[in-house]
Amino acid sequence: MKRIGMLTSGGDCQALNAAMRGVVKSVLNSGEQVEIYGFLDGYKGLIYSNFRMLTWSDFSGILTKGGTILGSSRTPFKTIKDPDENGLDKVDAMLQTYHKLRLDCLVVLGGNGTHKTANLLRQEGLNVVTLPKTIDNDLYGTDMTFGFQSAVDIATDCIDMIHTTASSHGRVFIVEVMGHKVGYLTLNAGIAGGADIILIPEIPYDIDKIVDKINERNAKGSRFTILAVAEGAISKEDAKLSKKEYKEKMKNYKYPSVSYEIADKILEKTGKEVRVTVPGHTQRGGSPCPYDRVFASRLGAEAGKLILKGEYGFMVGYRNREIVKVPLEEVAGKLKMVDPKSAIIKEAKMLGISFGD
């Protein structure tokens, strides 16, 4: 008999349900008896012992369902060791819930912050297996996270739709893509959607280079220009600031996001009409694309295998086209970013895409 706790933490994404289904199916199909404790709304459920007993039927019919059947929330790692508003020691409370329920292990699905807490729980002696979810694909130790490809599809659809209206009106359009501090999502959706300019945090931009590209396109007879801009894109000047200086500057920032600042500057320098489209949380919504369904199911099945073997302290990841187990201490606290010297950036530049550098 295995007593398995499960939770989904941080921002949601597509294929969380597919991944949980994969874990449960693989364990149940082995013939092992299981009790599944689904903690609600991420680590909060573990802290406050808020859970639901789940059975086979809870995992049936959820392969294609977006979101998470367990709910999710952000429980910042930064403050995880601080007592809650009632003085409760959150880490201690999580350990107590785990031991009180006599769990054999905890399956945690999450991104960067989630993995820091998962590693902390491992250090505290809990048996933890994690699965890499995030549309940002910024998790260290895995080449791919589930949710990413689905989000690429949605952001690409958005750029595709902007293309037709941009060409009718001969305007400059900016599509702002999620991704937090990294540019994988913008880079991939930008290339797939045929963006002319792609701005990502890893390659700080020079507004004059952006203007040059727009003018160059006009000179060649293209009436419109499409920019895929990462929500974390940063100018060369801002990239030179210290963290403190940048924070200070942002206190008086007058734009809703970086895309509006870039739009303003393009208008100022070219006199061209610029429109900004922000698909926002639609990028995390809806059902997972087939790639993510397959990928998350495979990761889930492999996590089930680790549980059956009693191998804990790992994230089930994907490296060099193989599913691998990565020690949690290798994953926690590290960010995976786009390498500006990588082949994909060079190839995008060969296609004529400007990165504003």
- Considering only the stretches 175-183, 214-222, 256-264, 337-345, report the one whose residues sit in contact with ligand F6P under the rule CB under 6 A: 175-183
**Cα gap 142→161, rounded to integer Å:** 31
Task: Name beta bridge partners: 39.
Answer: 51
**Cα gap 341→339, rounded to integer Å:** 5
What burial class does residue 141 get, using C-beta atoms within 10 Å of its C-beta: 0-12 exposed, 13-18 middle, 19+ buried?
buried
**Cα gap 226→186, rounded to integer Å:** 13
Shortest distance in whole angstroms from residue 92 CB to ligand F6P = 26
Nearest residue (CB) to ligand F6P, 42 versus 313:
42
Shortest distance in whole angstroms from residue 227 CB to ligand F6P = 18
**CA angle at 262 for the pair 256 and 267, rounded to the nearest 5°:** 115
Task: Name beta bridge partners: 322.
Answer: 319
- Considering only the stretches 87-95, 178-186, 210-218, 312-320, report the one whose residues sit in contact with ligand F6P under the rule CB under 6 A: 178-186
Nearest residue (CB) to ligand F6P, 79 versus 168:
79
Residue of 90, 284, 298, 325 that binds ligand F6P (CB under 6 A)? 284
Count other Cβ atoms within 10 Å, centred on residue 3: 15
Give the C-alpha distances (Å, rounded to integers) separating 327 from 143, 314, 330: 15, 4, 5
| Active-site residue identified among 58, 136, 153, 292 | 136
**Cα gap 73→310, rounded to integer Å:** 28
Residue of 15, 106, 108, 135 that binds ligand F6P (CB under 6 A)? 135
Which helix H or strand E contains 314, and what residues bound it? strand 314-319
Nearest residue (CB) to ligand F6P, 231 versus 302:
231
Taking CB under 6 A as the rule, which mask of x and - marks residues 105-134 in contact with ligand F6P? ------x----------------------x
Nearest residue (CB) to ligand F6P, 136 versus 202:
136
Nearest residue (CB) to ligand F6P, 120 versus 135:
135
Shortest distance in whole angstroms from residue 136 CB to ligand F6P = 5
Q: Report the residue number whose CB is nearest to ligand F6P.
A: 178
Residue of 180, 213, 217, 325 that binds ligand F6P (CB under 6 A)? 180
Shortest distance in whole angstroms from residue 152 CB to ligand F6P = 12
Shortest distance in whole angstroms from residue 62 CB to ligand F6P = 21
Shortest distance in whole angstroms from residue 110 CB to ligand F6P = 10
Query: Do 278 and 297 touch, CB atoms closer than 8 A?
Result: no
67-99 burial by CB neighbour count: b if 16+ within 10 A, else e? Answer: bbbbbbbebebeebeeeeeeeeebbebbbebbe
Shortest distance in whole angstroms from residue 186 CB to ligand F6P = 10
Q: Which of residues 27-86 bind ligand F6P (CB under 6 A)?
A: none
Q: Which of residues 213-272 bind ligand F6P (CB under 6 A)?
A: 231
Query: In the structure, how many helices (H) and strands (E) does the chain have?
Result: 13, 11
Applying CB under 6 A, the site for ligand F6P has a residue count of: 10
Nearest residue (CB) to ligand F6P, 42 versus 193:
42
Q: Which of residues 304-343 bind ligand F6P (CB under 6 A)?
A: none
Nearest residue (CB) to ligand F6P, 284 versus 298:
284
Query: Do 105 and 2 touch, CB atoms closer than 8 A?
Result: yes
Told to judge if 136 belongs to the known catalytic residues of this protein, a careful annotator would answer yes
- DSSP code at position 56: G
β-strands 274-277, 51-54: how paired? unpaired
136 binds ligand F6P (CB under 6 A): yes
Of 172, 200, 177, 181, the C-alpha closest to 189 is 177
Residues acting as catalytic residues: 136
Q: Which residues bind ligand F6P (CB under 6 A)?
A: 11, 111, 134-136, 178-180, 231, 284
